[in-house]
Structure 1
Amino acid sequence: MNIGIIGGGSIGMFFSACLHDSFNVTQYTRKQVQADEICQNGLWVEENGGKNRINLQARSLQVKEASREDVLFIAVKQYHLQALETFLCSLPVSIPLIFLQNGMGHLAFLEKLPQQHLFVATIEHGVFRKDQNSIHIRGRGKTNIALFRGNPETIKQIMSTSIKEFPFHWHNQYQKMLLEKLFANAVINPLTAILKVKNGELISNPYYYSLMKQVFSEVANVFDGNEQDFQNIEAICKKTANNRSSMLRDIEDGRPTEIEAIIGYIINEAKKMKRTLPVCTAIYSMICGMEGKEEGL
């Protein structure tokens, strides 16, 4: 089975590294220089103090090449999806696409695509990219997948190859699955980015913990969250206590964040219900200011 991974970031390279033993994997990157680096020097995976080189096929993104894949994972940040629209619409409509973005803002984008089989996923692994051909795995979890549109049997082979170190977990309701991740992303990511702390400090510091509760309360009022949802967030903070969130790393490295897809999406949903979210709105403004984003909402 031919699997294509679109995106040369941490998650894209992580999926390529984990799937290459079971499938014929091709890593598609935005820049040719990254593809050349992976082809010539391999993909390096650091985990638990050790390093492993993986020989991987990589190339820059081309419709002709990607059209030969049996399944494509779309592992780019949500704000890069719009630039991919023409490319994705040019692919055969029968190729299943699996989207690996945070937040829920990309659902409207998926509605516009012609593909017959679309899937969404949430990632519980902790990975960051060290450079253009190496990643560091900080913690393993699972990949949750749900059907957005089409036939779930089209990715049956992928689901059946789930291994202990890289498990897939099927969900019957994509909205519920995405909401569970949205709660965590909305609380943990922006607060750690603003406060410049690791995940665990949100629960060890009583003032930060109070902020967590305030953010969650606003989000829960929009999406009917409950105490179990907050407990799940606490559990994630404990499990990933020494990790720096992806949004914190984006701010530190001067990259755009996914604030629009996470907090921006929540604020817009609240507006439809004629509700105001003062804490979330303040957080949105702070992150946008930190990344130099033009005024939006």
Structure 2
Amino acid sequence: MAQNSPTQPALSWTVVGQGAIGLLAASRFKLAGWPVQLWLRQPAALDIRFEQHPLHFNCATAPLAAVLIPVKSYAVPAAVQALLPALAPDAQLVLSHNGMAATEHILSSLSPAQGLWFLTTTHGALKQGATVRHTGQGQSVLSPLNAAAKNQLLAVQQAMDIALGPVTLTGNILPFLWHKLAINAAINPLTALNNCNNGELAKAQYQPLISQILAEVCQVAEAAGYPLQYAQMLEKVQQVIQNTAANFSSMQQDIAHSRRTEIDAITGYIVTQAARYNIAVPLNTQLLQQVLQLQHRG
């Protein structure tokens, strides 16, 4: 993990919330010697244990120069709205969540000098009480979404490399989001509905379901202009299941803890896009309804 260059001081980063991925990023910042603070709904300092390290995080104070927003997709608008009065005039905001990025409204609420980014990551983390574990080594893709972000390419990429690296920079995040969407659509609803870890999906009984989910997603992605290769995606999903066998998906964890899931931004997005292109996606439609029923029951 690279240290700061003494000739280039780091941006002072704020991480929003106390979810597993956010605390993973904050912990990696702190262990690399970068300034980092937390922005919580109820402002307070926070003490956690990350791996073997006891870590203390201060409560964020304005102005906020650089902000990582790794909250659930449905919580993004409210989080950004709450942050706006505290942002520095040239603040950089990095969104990171499952599902597809809906950023038009957020872009319109920022000033021309404030940068907006999207980061998608395959890192895995688990929070249990005050303990956070890095459960899956991954990588991330980062994309600037406006001109003010492009003016800070090096500084933000360097920071995200520390927090959730290794990072690849791209001018178009959508192909990467469709790729991750397909993987999430195959794994998250099935683990949530069956209350199981990812490795359980390697069993023979789940293979026809995974195949049909991916076949439907690939049809929709093709129509949307972001084609996915079915055979490659099937291989990738099996690889993720194997590599994260002991892990529990975020959707399984949300259902287990009676929290709202991101099903609308994952399977719901697929179903909505399928309707737009007049494509039948019966299994994804069924999974969406089943997860929503389970969520409302909780």
TM-score bracket, normalised by the shorter chain, equals 0.7 to 0.9
Return the letter of the residue paired with 2:168: H
Return the letter of the residue paired with 1:106: A
Deviation at 1:108, TM superposition (A): 4.5
CA contact (8 A) 1:18 1:166 kept: no
Q: Distance in 1 between matches of 2:266 and 2:107?
A: 18
The alignment status of 1:45 with 2:46, answered yes or no, reads no
Normalised to the residue count of structure 1, the TM-score between the two structures is: 0.85
Provide the residue aligned with 1:144 in structure 2: 141
Aligned with 1:94: secondary structure? strand
Which range is displaced more, 19-28 or 187-196? Answer: 19-28
Aligned residues: percent identity?
A: 26
Q: Distance in 1 between matches of 2:108 and 2:163?
A: 35
The alignment status of 1:181 with 2:176, answered yes or no, reads no
Deviation at 1:202, TM superposition (A): 1.5
**What's the Cα RMSD here?**
2.2
Identify the match of residue 293 of structure 2 among 282, 289, 293: 289
The alignment status of 1:232 with 2:243, answered yes or no, reads no
Q: Distance in 1 between matches of 2:118 and 2:201?
A: 28
Provide the residue aligned with 1:170 in structure 2: 169
Q: Distance in 1 between matches of 2:154 and 2:182?
A: 29
Return the letter of the residue paired with 1:263: T
Provide the residue aligned with 1:103 in structure 2: 99
Provide the residue aligned with 2:8 in structure 1: none
The alignment status of 1:74 with 2:69, answered yes or no, reads yes
Q: Distance in 1 between matches of 2:235 and 2:158?
A: 30
Q: Distance in 1 between matches of 2:14 and 2:297?
A: 32
Return the letter of the residue paired with 1:140: Q
The alignment status of 1:259 with 2:263, answered yes or no, reads yes
Provide the residue aligned with 1:62 in structure 2: none
Provide the residue aligned with 1:25 in structure 2: 36
Q: Distance in 2 between matches of 1:96 and 1:73?
A: 9
Structure 1 gaps of 5+ residues are 60-64
Q: Distance in 2 between matches of 1:158 and 1:139?
A: 23
Aligned with 1:254: secondary structure? coil
Q: Distance in 1 between matches of 2:174 and 2:89?
A: 23
Provide the residue aligned with 1:58 in structure 2: 59
CA contact (8 A) 2:141 2:173 kept: no
Q: Distance in 2 between matches of 1:269 and 1:93?
A: 36
Q: Aligned residues, how many? A: 276
CA contact (8 A) 1:88 1:113 kept: no
Aligned with 2:259: secondary structure? coil
Residues 112 and 230 of structure 1, relative CA distance in 2, 3 Å threshold: farther
CA contact (8 A) 2:199 2:246 kept: yes
The alignment status of 1:208 with 2:206, answered yes or no, reads yes
CA contact (8 A) 1:105 1:262 kept: no
Q: Distance in 1 between matches of 2:193 and 2:248?
A: 12
Q: Distance in 2 between matches of 1:164 and 1:58?
A: 19
Deviation at 1:218, TM superposition (A): 0.7
Deviation at 1:158, TM superposition (A): 3.8
Identify the match of residue 94 of structure 1 among 86, 90, 95: 90
Which range is displaced more, 186-195 or 229-238? Answer: 229-238
Q: Distance in 1 between matches of 2:104 and 2:273?
A: 13
